[in-house]
Amino acid sequence: LFVSESEIPYFHLKSLVSSSFKTFRIEDVIDVVQVDEYYLVELFHGPTFAFKDVALQFLGNLFEYFLIRREKHAINQNYNDYITRTTIVGATSGDTGSAAIYGMRGKKNVDVFILFPYGRVSPIQELQMTTVTDANVHCLSVKGTFDDCQAMVKNLFNDQQFKKEYSLGAINSINLVRILAQITYYIYSYILLFRKKYLDPACLNSDILPKVNFSVPTGNSGDILAGFYAKQMGLPINKLFLCTNRNNTLYNFFVNGKYERSAEVHKTFSPSMDIQVASNFERYLFFLGNGNHELLRSWMHTFETTGKLHLPQSYVDFANEHIHSEYVTEEETISIISELYRKCQYVVCPHTAVGIQGAKKLCLKKKLTEPMVCLATAHPAKFVEAQKIAFNGKIPPTPAELSILFSLPTKVSIIENDLETIKNKIKKETNLKINNNKKW
């Protein structure tokens, strides 16, 4: 749908997709299950037990595919001293890092540098990154917040000389391939609703398909952007619910049009959502401004220089035609985890809990009755602290793939929150591999 034959031949693309998902623990890659009155889209059956695997396993193979193809072209042109390499740089609030590492580890001619905030990811999230000791993987624990990490990644890409010299590539949802891949599970989960008869299959013979609501726990806003694009493509979505934790800058925008950077990034039970500046929000604003790039540039300049962007109520009303928003407290997060286990014997991660509780509140507020689909973004075992509180100190069984991490050696560099320090680290690690090559 998104890739032309001239870019990637169909049989190559099919092979890339197939190899990307063979590491998942279930044949369908994702699943939909009913829990209470909600339909949960289980997106955590990949190698790192989080939704990021769906896009990043594919993206890792895509990077390798193009690098190998470029190298073959160079050899055919007798550029015998030419070796194509790329340096992948990304920031993570928890799940992107490990998914990117598992997608890139051992890839030919690829080095990957992952920045994550020191002390602000869960212990298992950190171990999923730092226990991968492959030579091409570099974990950088930054003394700052995710927003600091993300800002430095953006600054690296804005440094055109550095970007060209080290052939930078992106694994964050700055890279639109991430969003394109995530669109697929909105469509497929809708199909699964019929296949599992949660929606009446007889409706498929109707001219009008039944609409559903999707609730999306939101941090950097790539996941809900993918849902918005799916809705624009015609998927029968009534409303998207953008649900945040205490770091609720996006919630404020969709309620009153005020997008303001807070002085503090709050540490919560849902660390992957502990973000104040959502990088994909800019893409949504482009739509909100009717594709006017000059208007978007003006809005972003205002936000970047003042930390604030206030839009008139008319924009909020237009945004609410597609997206409603709610924020969820720490107490509500723990409460819904406990409630769902008590009623259904099903354990959700704290991020998924935010999405479910937000959906619960919004359906009451807006009097919405469509089937409620919630994205279950990670396996609960990755977030032990929330489980301890929700279950009075007891912890449900942890998958063996996660338990073993505590016994493995680690490789990580703890570094200052400083752009030049990051650059020097990248230079040091990569120069060893390019000194013998005339071209990067």
Question: Which one from 14, 22, 52, 439 is the annotated catalytic residue?
Answer: 52
| Among 195, 188, 239, 233, CA closest to 370 | 239
**Contact at 8 Å (CB) between 387 and 396?**
yes
Instruction: Kindly report the number of other CB atoms within 10 A of residue 417's CB atom.
Output: 17
Angle between helices 123-130 and 95-104 (to 10 degrees): 20
Among 353, 371, 440, smallest CA distance to 162 is for 440
User: Helix, strand, or coil here: 80?
Assistant: coil
| 259, 265, 291, 317, 319 from 294: Cα distances, Å | 19, 30, 9, 22, 20
Nearest CA-CA partner of 28 in 5, 4, 45: 45
Could you give the CA distance from residue 62 to residue 166 in angstroms, rounded to a whole number?
Answer: 19
Q: Is 52 a catalytic residue?
A: yes
Residue with tokens 């949802």: 173
CA-to-CA distance for 51 and 31, rounded, in angstroms? 12
What one-letter code names the amino acid at 369? T
Dump the DSSP string for 401-439: HHHGGGGS----EEE-S-HHHHHHHHHHHHHHHHTT-SB
Q: Which residues pair with 309 in a beta bridge?
A: 259
**Beta-carbon neighbour count of residue 70 at 10 Å?**
14
Tell which residue, 215, 238, 241, has the closest CA to residue 369: 238
Radius of gyration of the chain from Cα atoms? Answer: 22
Cα-Cα-Cα-Cα dihedral of 322, 34, 181, 383, to 10°? Answer: 100
What values do phi and psi take at 39, rounded to 5?
-105, 110
Residue 42 sits at the vertex; the CA angle it makes with 38 and 45, to the nearest 5 degrees, is 165
The residues that are catalytic are 52
